[in-house]
Structure 1
């Protein structure tokens, strides 16, 4: 890069940071006025209550794998699977930096702490789709890279596609190598059927997603509900027909018009049966030994059920790469679980014995509260001078993903993908409330 090019990049970076800081100041002023008029804003969920080993039994998972012969049959028919690098090489769409986002889109950003990176999706490319979870190559590998690539994955879902009659779920593969100009392309999530002779669309809203080693784990809450589906990032298939249909079609293979499709290689389901908690949000925790999958259950405000936060250890067996630690019968036990008074949880992150819990307000465009909880109490990020000013978090953020190598927390709210330092969250926390 030329010296002139480096100067342009520095100037653009400074301009973007100044723009985001100005946006945060405007949001802070609005949030402060709202919070000051509402004495009950952000009632504290208090301390976490640990569950006993017996109570954690309801959180046991059953592991199920797609038969290797089915996957090989599908690959034989569709052609050799490709990897993430091949998908990124086809990235033909661009995200807009925050300075190019509309005022309405920027209202989706957190008030305090302020986002340090923010991007908007094209309305035409996302119309009719519901944004969901986010994960990154920072989850996949502790050096933050997958091969030579820095990658962000963003999950989206669509209810009852008019063209296919199916619910659909797709992943944006974002090339994050140059965060001044991130590009992306789409891949559809699918499930093999008929012994690998065909596949169907994964039919669900995506509520959580973690990319760990070579596996992508995705939670489903509707259609293919109450499951954790597993995808192999080395088993991405190219389609050959650009049709609206999903699966085998005349002349080849289609995935609702997308060039790539990921067939599931397995799944996990809660073994507790009717009335058992549901996997809603998930994230990766690299501060535990072994690394673990943090999970949460969503419960509505005003209900009589307590939400749960819990974790599963990942396997250390290389033959079980990227998967949870299962016993010989395929059972996976929760290693830790807590009750929380937090409701309408929009994203959860566990790191160094603390749990970060995003809480919604019940009003789509109203800012929520980001709590840090432990067994000692809870603290919230603040955007004012006292403890009542807690409506500071993004209104509709559904996922939290910590990129440990860069220290950044990534999330998504509406059509806005954003990041901020986890350290800035900790600095903005108020006093501990038991």
Structure 2
């Protein structure tokens, strides 16, 4: 069923593009590269481990209710003044506890997680990527805390960690694992049992220091990477660009969805990656994870995807000064686009199944909103 026309929205229909040869999903694969378990174990021993609930109990920032300029808005909020205006960090991905579990809660909490990347320029240090845990028990008055992402490594004085310098354009939370899009490498994995409390009093330092302290660029918590699903292809198939991620709980075994941003968008693809019984992408007898489906969508400037019923819904950007669009697509069917549904700079999508809501966020300073709309 297609979206109905809403007040102020213009709907355009375009046929899906034709292609000479459909991509073969089995040629798109991933090899798993786990973090050194000894390093993870040493860091777990040296640093206090925190739960998601513990991080939220110590939330040190508050959002505020605001009216995001979106169609079919059900709830929205804004960051605090610093996060709303900063040009140092750019928000990108979003996922929710309704991705993590079927009933919508995690450790008894209703939670959003967003990602940000450091826009470092002009000689500034690139601090990589961070995520934000947001308690939305009261979405009109959310509380939240930023956590830096880091990769375990062998330091000069023992187990340490380094920044993860990626765009972090998409997130997918499933069970106890957080998946983060790495544009050209594949999908990074973070086990939420490795949230480490650090000293956090030195904004310019990360990892183990000569004085024996562990620093987190001024943040109190670090989330350590537990692995990487590195992407490759067989037989000359062009590799995927990992611009956004989501969890697919619709139509068959649960899966990850990964898609591509491109402009004008001819040939852009959407991959479905099946999840196994332990909540990790399922590896075959040859040790590789292989895509279950590869769809050629052909939509330009895609920023996020959600699978709702028989439709794939895409958030697409339309330049700095224009509202973002929402496209509905079914394999083999037409693309139906509602224009100016979102604020300028829409990003990732996440479907909150129990409430039939789409969550998203916008990136531009001064126009940053986090919002949920009816999925129709």
Give the alignment's TM-score, normalised by structure 2: 0.88
User: In structure 1, what is the Cα distance between the partners aligned to 2:123 and 2:62?
Assistant: 26
Measured at CA, do residues 236 and 134 of structure 1 come closer, stay the same or move farther in structure 2, by a change above 3 Å? same
Q: SS at 2:193's partner residue?
A: coil
Matched, 1:235 2:194: yes
User: In structure 1, what is the Cα distance between the partners aligned to 2:74 and 2:279?
Assistant: 30
User: In structure 2, what is the Cα distance between the partners aligned to 1:163 and 1:95?
Assistant: 31
Matched, 1:122 2:80: yes
Deviations 1:187-210 (A, max 9, x none): 101111118711001111111101
Match of 1:351 among 282, 303, 308: 308
- Asked whether the equivalents of residues 284 and 401 of structure 1 are also in contact (C-alpha less than 8 Å), the reply is yes
Matched, 1:173 2:130: no
Larger Rg belongs to: 1
Q: SS at 1:191's partner residue?
A: strand
The list of structure 1 runs, each at least 4 consecutive aligned residues, that deviate by more than 4 angstroms after superposition, is 47-52, 161-164
Instruction: Name the counterpart of 2:208.
Output: 248
Task: Report deviation, 1:85.
Answer: 0.9
User: In structure 1, what is the Cα distance between the partners aligned to 2:121 and 2:47?
Assistant: 24
Task: Report deviation, 1:49.
Answer: 7.2
User: In structure 1, what is the Cα distance between the partners aligned to 2:124 and 2:58?
Assistant: 25
Match of 1:307 among 247, 263, 268: 268
Q: SS at 1:87's partner residue?
A: helix
Q: SS at 1:62's partner residue?
A: strand
Measured at CA, do residues 55 and 211 of structure 1 come closer, stay the same or move farther in structure 2, by a change above 3 Å? same
User: In structure 2, what is the Cα distance between the partners aligned to 1:63 and 1:157?
Assistant: 24
Matched, 1:401 2:354: no
Task: Report deviation, 1:74.
Answer: 1.4
User: In structure 2, what is the Cα distance between the partners aligned to 1:50 and 1:193?
Assistant: 45
Q: SS at 2:42's partner residue?
A: helix
Match of 1:268 among 183, 206, 229: 229
- Asked whether the equivalents of residues 285 and 294 of structure 1 are also in contact (C-alpha less than 8 Å), the reply is yes
Matched, 1:287 2:271: no
Measured at CA, do residues 297 and 247 of structure 1 come closer, stay the same or move farther in structure 2, by a change above 3 Å? same
Instruction: Name the counterpart of 2:36.
Output: 67
Match of 1:78 among 22, 26, 47: 47
Q: Which has the higher helix share?
A: 1
Matched, 1:44 2:14: yes
Task: Report deviation, 1:289.
Answer: 2.4
Deviations 1:257-311 (A, max 9, x none): 011000100011111289412111111111132101111111211x6x5100120
Give the alignment's TM-score, normalised by structure 1: 0.77
Q: SS at 1:206's partner residue?
A: coil
Q: Which blocks of at least 5 consecutive residues in structure 2 are unaligned?
A: 1-5
Measured at CA, do residues 230 and 153 of structure 1 come closer, stay the same or move farther in structure 2, by a change above 3 Å? same
User: In structure 2, what is the Cα distance between the partners aligned to 1:330 and 1:401?
Assistant: 29
Measured at CA, do residues 393 and 176 of structure 1 come closer, stay the same or move farther in structure 2, by a change above 3 Å? closer
- Asked whether the equivalents of residues 283 and 400 of structure 1 are also in contact (C-alpha less than 8 Å), the reply is yes
